[in-house]
Chains A and B, each alone.
Chain A
Amino acid sequence: MNGLTDFQIEMRAFELDLEDLRPPALAHPMSADHVTKYVYRLYQRAALDGNLELFQEVEAELDGAIARLGPAPDLCLLKANLDFKLHRVAETRRDLEMSSGLAETSQGRAISADIVFQEGDYKEAGKLYTELVEKERTWDNLARLAHLCARIGDVAAADQLYVEAEDELTAKEMRSFAWVELQRGLLHSAYGRFPQAHEHYDRANRGYSGYWLVEEHIANLLAAEHKLEQAATIYRNVLQRVPKPEIQQALGDIYRHMGKQREAEECFQKALAVYLRSAERGEVHYYHHLVDFYCDAHRDTEQALMWARQDIEVRNNSSTQAAMARALHLAGRHDAARQMIDRALSSGAREPGLFLQAGKIHSAAGGNGMGEHYLKLAAELNPHHSAFHVHHHHH
């Protein structure tokens, strides 16, 4: 369509929809249907755009709609999705309770299972996801279960489930297809299988062109392969469209490895400014990025520990525990680091990156041979584990 990418076509369609929906949505008396469609479109646009600040507008409209219309189930579900996306786990739970019966709907149960996953109870999450799939074999339920399998190291099952998820998707759902292909690529990348990861990212791009998320994944992969110049080019290109601080930080990491300290520092300052502004507003979704930032970009272990503590209060799972363990390790508190990383491992999580972390921490804490054990495990799972690795978080 006139040389536009799939991403541009969809964003344009959202904008046109919003133009049509805006007047009736603001009319009095208010139609629940129109308002829901309008706020949902705002949400979809924000989610696709990648600019988390757009969610402030979504939240304002959503809260306004709920205040005027009451806790309508669709609006509460939308709010639950929004809060979950922004790491507000307690609020997500509350949103599901706001509307009677919402938690028992299939969408409500899916988010509830996601909460359990975020809280690190992978066994229970697995049970809930399996029940969801048995009841409703939708692509997103299959993808949920796949993600869990990836987290606990059952890579074959994860990929198989992603394949099944794709099989449920039609040609009218290419963005979702691209997203699943990205997950498959990430799975390969985590285990050092870079050519396979490239294949999946290429398919994602062919399935849904012009999507910054796909480009970002490609840049991450190139960075892991030490193709730093190529990675930097793509990051810069993405940043022009989507000024996300984590991408800014990733570019900074690359510049640093290329010896471009000034450019790296510029990127880090920009990223930090956005993280801190968000935290000052009371938002919690950048806490984890701040931990990484103060562990790597601007080493300050006290700051890292402070943000790690706050992140664990919001979401206590193997990822946040591993981040805390790393901060403790870098702060020289090796025993505490070992205890924390063991806690992360006790969840059942099995990923090369986690084992690498555990190896370093146990080695520093000394004595029990577990350090070598985990380092060996990490190397077996991902022979490229020592490769440059860009921090990779997605909202």
Chain B
Amino acid sequence: MADHNDPNAVNSIFSDIDASAADLYDLFGFPSSDTSDGEKVVIALTFAAVPHAGTLDPDMIYRIQMTAEPRVVHPPANEQSLDSFLKYVEAVKDKYTGALHASEIRMHVDESQRATVEFFNFPEGSFSVVVDTNKVLNLDTPGKNRITAYIGGRDDAFFNDLPGFFRSINYAPQFYHVPHTMTEARELPIPKTLLELEGNDLFNYDPALPEWGRGYKKNLPPGPWTWKGDKFRKDENGNFRFVYSGVDAQAGKNVNAIILEIPVKFINPAPDKNRIINVWGESWVLKAANKIETIPDHPLWLEHPFAFLDPRSKDDELQKYKLVDTDGQPFADAALSEREDNRQLGANNFFLAPHFVKRLAHLGWGFGPSISALGLKTSFDHDNSPVSVHKTYSTVLAAFPRVKKTLFQPLNMPDNSWNPKGLNIALRRPFEIFVPNVCAIDMDTTGTWPFGRRLEDQVATRFLSMFLDMEAEFKGKKYHLELLNDQSLWDAAPIVPRTPPNPLKNDKDFSDKFPYLAEPHPEPGYKPTYK
């Protein structure tokens, strides 16, 4: 019989990459200013507003996991060796693959948009509630703690020049129609850079096409897609051209969100001792077999990712779902994990640590010379290269010396406002921010990044600041995480446009009241059914 039972008979030839409710956006976490009934922490997980802002997808489960632990400094601040880094990674691995005892808040909606919120492994135990969406709710736990919750549509709290970031990494799909089959045509083999490269016509700003990369894409020209130049681009006035524009590409966009304000004593029984609350988010989508509510056959094989994830740890409900996305630190995906699906490992990203070192070194060869060209000091050792370089590493050993300072330098804060109690809290270092990939909220701080993440933090610019040399000075003050947000820096720089790379604030003001994120923008042609 000529049964052409080829799956392509019905398959999607190209994975139709539409926005998906599984696409997690941001994870915010910070101490609440409302301490009326004891300390509280605010956690907000945002994700794609699919099918609409305020209407959630019943095929999804969202998880917010958390642990609480004491503040620890390891390795000691003066150790900056590859060996100490690897020991740190090993310790993280032991913690996250051992008896982690993470608590979990799990949410899904039914067809009528009622949300089931389940609480697992909290000191009070495990319990669940069913609540309305798109309303501020007070949930009283069995132990008489009060959690304030909002599940539904909000304005996207992320404000960012994402096209600018993609221009800095020469990311073709933002600017070109890249065929689905061309998986190699993503970050093109052109130096990463903050300043345009002379002759890099594949990405340099074209005043005749201002919307290029901001909605408009060109057809991808034939290769090779390389750059043969040797200098940064300068205009007739001797100014560099910034790859960033400072324009908010996220303005006017909505998200769906799970926003919670939780008493710290609900999360851990020793809140005085365990001052760090680690949070990470996950999205899971229902498996096809479980959509039809039968007991499906189970494959013998263990699921990806790796054998040390104990399959017994996946409970009966989760067995019916497939992990799609994870969220912890901003830019852990985009900047460091390069968005590959098999790197969606969330908190368990410790064995990606060697990749992070190599990746950071690769970025450093691009951003470092850009920073130097502007007359600033960089934490990356680029041998005084006059221009950005495209360089990749196959071994951590080769990459590490270049990026050592970038990895290990404590990140200065602009002032002491982050530490309102004036405690002896060590500044955070990049290696411990991104491994593990969690939002580590320090309850003795304001929770501003990297001590958490507040809504108003311009994290994209702070991420770039990791490549500044924190021992250098600007106007008599040590470099710090907010330096690149300082307009006066750009006013004095030989660059156009003279602007911080990313917008300084969100298009909509945040509220000082729960749920803190602004109301969603109206969607043309859609009338929400909720009030």
Contact = CB atoms under 8 A, between A and B. Distances in A.
B187 interface: no
B181 A102 contact: yes
A174 B7 contact: no
A370 interface: no
A87 B5 CA distance: 12
B177 to A, nearest CB: 4
A170 B61 CA distance: 13
A147 interface: yes
A33 B177 contact: yes
Nearest to A173: B288
B423 interface: no
Chain B CB within 10 Å — which of A32, A147, A166, A172 has the most? A172
A102 B13 CA distance: 13
B2 A319 contact: yes
A31 interface: yes
A174 B291 CA distance: 8
Contacts of B2: 288, 315, 319-320, 323, 393
Contacts, number: 150
Contact of B10 (A48, A114, A203): A48
A392 B6 contact: no
How many chain A residues sit at the interface, stated as a range, is 35 or more
Interface string B1-26: 11111111111111000001000000
Interface string A1-44: 00000000000000000000000000000011100100010011
A170 B59 contact: yes
Contacts of A152: none
A323 B2 CA distance: 9
A73 B5 contact: no
**Consensus secondary structure, chain B interface:** loop
B511 interface: no
A140 B14 CA distance: 12
B199 interface: no
Interface string A52-74: 00000000000000000100111
A140 B11 contact: yes
B322 A170 contact: yes
Given A32-B177, A166-B296, A392 B288 contact: no
Chain A CB within 10 Å — which of B6, B287, B301 has the most? B6
Interface in B285-320: 285-292, 294, 296-301, 303-304
B181 A167 contact: no
Contact of A172 (B182, B285, B294): B285
A395 interface: yes
Interface in B1-60: 1-14, 20, 59
A137 B299 contact: no
B13 A107 contact: yes
Contacts of A177: 288-289, 291
Interface of B: 1-14, 20, 59, 177, 179-183, 217, 219-220, 285-292, 294, 296-301, 303-304, 322
7 contacts: A107-B13, A107-B181, A118-B4, A160-B300, A163-B296, A203-B292, A323-B2
